[in-house]
Amino acid sequence: MLSKELNKEPLKAYEQTAYFKSSEDMEAAEIGEPVSLIITSPPYWDLKDYGHQKEIGKGTYEGYIQRMNTVWEKCYDFSTENALLIIIVRDRRKDGIFYPIPMDIAKNMKRWRFIDYLIWYSPNAKTQSKRYKDKLYDKKNEMILVFAKNFNYSYTFRKIKVRQKYAHADQRVYNKDPEGRGLPNIIRCPAQKPPNIKENNYHVAAFPDRLIYALLWTYSNKGDRVLDPFLGSGTVLKIARYMGRVGVGYEINEGFRNLIEARINEPFEPPAWEELDILHEPEKINPVNTHKPRVTRERMLHEYLES
């Protein structure tokens, strides 16, 4: 149930701001200084009802792609020259017809340049519906599309490193990176399935905190300005607050105000990077804080010589 007392005033908490209006109408004055990262998951097409008559996702498929383009264009205008636009999205199947939404977003993008995509692997995503279960593999992924303003790769990038198996025993110890190997471009992250989804008006499509944590860690720095044009429950603002980023966002449905406020204030426990790694066996992960280099080259060599 959405809150009945609707309040259109912007919500401000810590350094996070949420506007309750369509992001198609966002304005430079609301955003303030240009943002260096836009990260969002747009509404699904013709699938979920978020409770607002004018929300994107109702109407034709072409109209859906076009309306989102208005938003991506505004994001372009309100961002720095080295900004990135990251869109987390999945495709849709309706009446047997396949709508490859990520591909169509990329194909119809105007000024942003498509430079990369990652896969969000969600082990607990739903299996195929009855209609398709004997015709299609189960869908356990969403795409993370990465767009930049040009092809000069001048954006912020910090690669997530995970422990290397057998690092110490490897004869080629000199070639090893003491910080570990890079996380592959498939990020394992169970979908958010809070038990209280109905009781507390939890958002039906909230993305997992840790996925946003990993992406903000990779693509932004402390103090950076980050924009989410489709806030939903406000995951981006919650993690932006935790990580010392200045978050701005838009949500057309004022009914999510209390939820967004509550989420900005929620605690967050960062994962060990190995938990996001498809090459690590889950039961062997030691959930310690692994965000800092754990092994120096000297120690690695020392342990190798001692072994």
Ligand X SMILES: C[S@@+](CC[C@H](N)C(=O)[O-])C[C@H]1O[C@@H](n2cnc3c(N)ncnc32)[C@H](O)[C@@H]1O
Exactly one of 15, 24, 73, 177 binds ligand X (CB under 6 A); which one?
24
Give residue number: closest CB to ligand X.
Answer: 232
Build a one-symbol-per-residue string for 204-223: x at contacts with ligand X by CB under 6 A, - elsewhere: -xxx----------------
In the complex, the smallest distance separating the C-beta of residue 118 from ligand X, rounded to whole angstroms, is: 16
To ligand X, the closest distance from the beta carbon of 241 in angstroms equals: 14
- 22 makes contact with ligand X (CB under 6 A): yes
Q: How far is the CB of 26 from ligand X (least distance, A)?
A: 8
Closer by beta carbon to ligand X, 24 or else 177: 24
Whether 66 and 21 have beta carbons less than 8 Å apart is answered as no
∠ CA 47-53-29, rounded to 5°: 105
Contacts of 183 (CB under 8 A, 6+ apart): 159, 160, 161, 162, 214, 273, 276, 277
Extended beta strands in 149-252, E state: 161-162, 181-182, 186-188, 225-228, 246-250
The string of DSSP letters for 260-285 reads HHHHHHS---PPPGGGGBTTS-GGG-
Q: Total residues at the site for ligand X (CB under 6 A)?
A: 21
Supply the minimum distance, in Å, between the C-beta of residue 69 and ligand X: 12
SS3 80: strand
Nearer to ligand X, 187 or 206 (CB): 206
Look-up of token digits 């935790």 = 242
Where do contacts with ligand X occur on this chain (CB under 6 A)?
22-24, 41, 43, 50, 52, 55-56, 203, 205-207, 230, 232-233, 235, 250-253
